[in-house]
Structure 1
Amino acid sequence: MRIDEIIETSPDPTFSFEFFPPKTDEAEALLHDALETLRELSPSFVSVTYGAGGSSRDRTIKVVRNLRFDHGLEAMAHLTCVGATKDEIRTVLQQMRDAGVDNVLALRGDPPGGEEKFAPTPGGFASSPELTQLIAEEFPFAIGGAAYPEPHPDARHEDDDVQTAKAKVAAGAKFLITQIFYDNSDYFSFVRRLRDEGVDVPVIPGLMPITSIGQSRGFLTKIGARIPEGYRRELDAREDDPEAVISLGISYATLQAAELLAQGAPGIHFITMNRSPATRAILATLRLHRPWERTPESPTSAGQPSLA
């Protein structure tokens, strides 16, 4: 089923999970365990990340096929412009269609390892709007796009991320999923600016609970996700207590998601890192308390959970 139709017809906000293709037998077993646990939560859909190169690409298609036919989950394949010509991307899209995929998240992709700036592959695409347009013109997929409440590392000016998202929608994207963020005011401001530009597609927040100090100093720094000062201070105070870090991360993400849903966000996309406990705890709490049924307050008064 198309994800844009799932979002439109769902009586409640959508909850979705993001996975990455395993590279080893041990990682595959970890993913299998997470899938078995998270499947019980009846996600609206799941997505699988994508890397340039044949083996990673093939794993993405395999995982998406398994998610749909072996686990009964609606799945979306990520697709990037990195390391492929237009004809090679057409071939990948055909393989996805043959595998029964209905949904694609069209991305530019990060520069290959060791390179600081993205450079188009000769004969390839220079941007995600270009990729989105090809898919929309030649394939029947429901297309999603990435959105950046905080500035993308390659943003040229303050309004660049809004204009890029607008271009993706104009090219055929039916919904947007944001990069990870930890201050809700960034999301509310971004969506408000999109609406001012006439962009009315659903914008699903992408959230990932912080479950280790290394994660907050490594991966999140790499992708440019800003951790609010109060939250950073509380994390650092628990540096020698890994379990306390996990508890704080789950609590913060639960409060963050509850506020987003209470203010009208159409759903939450959980970046799971192929693990289940944190996502399971957060989603169970949200479904118990159903914050989306509360009367929305003005987004201008909202921001981050009160750890500032």
Structure 2
Amino acid sequence: MKITEHLSSAKKTLFSFEVLPPLRGQSIHSLYEHMNPLMEFNPPFVDVTYHREEYVYKKRENGLLEKVSIRKRPGTVGICAAIKNRYNVDAVPHIICGGFTKSETENALIDLDYLGIDNVLVLRGDPIKSEARFVPEAEGHHYAIDLVKQVKSMNRGIYLHEEMENSAPSNFCIGIAGYPEKHEEAPNLQADVRHLKAKVEAGADYVVTQMFFDNSKYFRFVELCREAGITVPIIPGLKPITVKRQLAVLPKIFHIDIPEELLIELENCKNDAAAKQIGIEWAIKQSKELMEWGVPCLHYYSMGKSDSVYSIAKAMF
């Protein structure tokens, strides 16, 4: 079932969350242990992230260094199939530009279509740690809008390279990312909204936002989107603070602001356990206001740990 169908048929705000694939070598049962408590709240869909390869340098016998590609969290497609089979919910794989050629993207989409996966969240993806900026593959996409166009073409039965008669179209519902505090590379929020509109016009069906801690930023973002003519659902993404060091880490990585009130409360915490409780309480307050505002769904970034999201969902759903 498509995400847009879930949203349009819902009689109340839905609950959903995002999971990380297990690290290479870990059992998928570690993922199930994370998900099992959260299934109590009947999420209609669960997002599964994709993580690009990273590189390490290994010294060869001749003394030279060899650049070796590794993937720390493989298995997004397989995990989506496993989630769909085990829990009978829609799994939404992240499809990214980075690390893929157009042909590899098409092959992944064909596999997902065969598995009955109805939804994809398409993203450009971040630069790998060894790159100062995003570098696409030689035969890959530079921007998320190009990836949206490829998925949309497959939905019309148009595939790469080959002229095929009576080709079977896919039927993916296409999600994209939105940034209430703007994407780090955008010159301003208005420009970022224009880029978002272009992706919607290219075929995107809904938007999921990056995490934010100030609801007014989300409300303003939605207002700007509607003024620009973007009418698709805009799902807020939330992440509870779990440890004090996230005060420094989250703004640096995600280019977001921590509200002063939350900052003061967290700085006064004596340990991570106290910070975690503040994070839960703040996210509940955010969730209540967003639900009263009438958002279609509350989407939580669990980051591989379910206990904080469970506490929030228990209070909300």
Same fold (TM over 0.5): yes
Higher helix share goes to which structure?
1
* Structure 2 partner of 1:280: 310
Equivalent runs, 1:219-234 vs 2, <5 Å: 219-234=250-265
Distance in 2 between residues matched to 1:234 and 1:62, nearest whole Å: 41
Q: 1:152 to 1:7 in 2, by over 3 A?
A: same
* Structure 2 partner of 1:257: 287
Contact 2:178–2:209 (8 Å) recurs in 1:
yes
Give how far 1:216 is off. 2.9
* Structure 2 partner of 1:16: 16
- The one of 226, 242, 248 equivalent to 2:272 is 242
Distance in 2 between residues matched to 1:26 and 1:137, nearest whole Å: 36
Structure 1 length as normaliser, TM-score?
0.88
Give how far 1:25 is off. 5.2
Residues 15-64 of structure 1: per-residue CA shift (max 9 Å, x gap): 11100111145574432211111112211210000123595685101111
Distance in 2 between residues matched to 1:108 and 1:15, nearest whole Å: 25
Contact 1:31–1:275 (8 Å) recurs in 2:
no
Q: 1:27 to 1:241 in 2, by over 3 A?
A: farther
- The one of 150, 157, 177 equivalent to 2:208 is 177
Distance in 1 between residues matched to 2:187 and 2:136, nearest whole Å: 18
Q: 1:141 to 1:246 in 2, by over 3 A?
A: same
Give how far 1:225 is off. 2.1
Q: 1:67 to 1:160 in 2, by over 3 A?
A: same
Q: Does 1:110 align with 2:135?
A: no
Distance in 1 between residues matched to 2:34 and 2:173, nearest whole Å: 26
Distance in 2 between residues matched to 1:92 and 1:14, nearest whole Å: 28
Provide structure 2 residue ranges, at least 5 long, that are not aligned to the other structure.
54-69, 155-169
- The one of 147, 152, 165 equivalent to 1:131 is 147
Q: Larger deviation: 58-67 or 154-163?
A: 154-163
* Structure 2 partner of 1:214: 245
Opposite residue 238 of structure 2, the aligned amino acid is L
Q: 1:106 to 1:208 in 2, by over 3 A?
A: same
Give how far 1:86 is off. 0.9
- For 1:255, what is the secondary structure of its paired residue? helix
Q: Larger deviation: 53-62 or 196-205?
A: 53-62
Distance in 2 between residues matched to 1:45 and 1:277, nearest whole Å: 19
- For 1:269, what is the secondary structure of its paired residue? strand
Contact 1:21–1:56 (8 Å) recurs in 2:
no
Q: Does 1:269 align with 2:299?
A: yes
Q: 1:220 to 1:100 in 2, by over 3 A?
A: farther
* Structure 1 partner of 2:172: 141
- For 1:283, what is the secondary structure of its paired residue? helix
Give how far 1:264 is off. 1.9
Give how far 1:226 is off. 1.2
Distance in 2 between residues matched to 1:285 and 1:78, nearest whole Å: 28
Q: Larger deviation: 114-123 or 147-156?
A: 114-123
Contact 1:52–1:84 (8 Å) recurs in 2:
no
Opposite residue 230 of structure 1, the aligned amino acid is E
Contact 1:211–1:245 (8 Å) recurs in 2:
yes
Opposite residue 129 of structure 1, the aligned amino acid is I
Give how far 1:192 is off. 0.4
* Structure 2 partner of 1:290: none
Provide structure 1 residue ranges, at least 5 long, that are not aligned to the other structure.
288-308
Give how far 1:87 is off. 1.1
- For 1:51, what is the secondary structure of its paired residue? coil
Q: Larger deviation: 171-180 or 109-118?
A: 109-118
Q: Tell me how many residue pairs correspond in the alignment.
A: 286
Distance in 1 between residues matched to 2:25 and 2:100, nearest whole Å: 27
* Structure 1 partner of 2:192: 161
Opposite residue 155 of structure 1, the aligned amino acid is A
Q: CA RMSD in A?
A: 1.7
Residues 151-206 of structure 1: per-residue CA shift (max 9 Å, x gap): 21111234122112111111111110000001111111110011011111110000
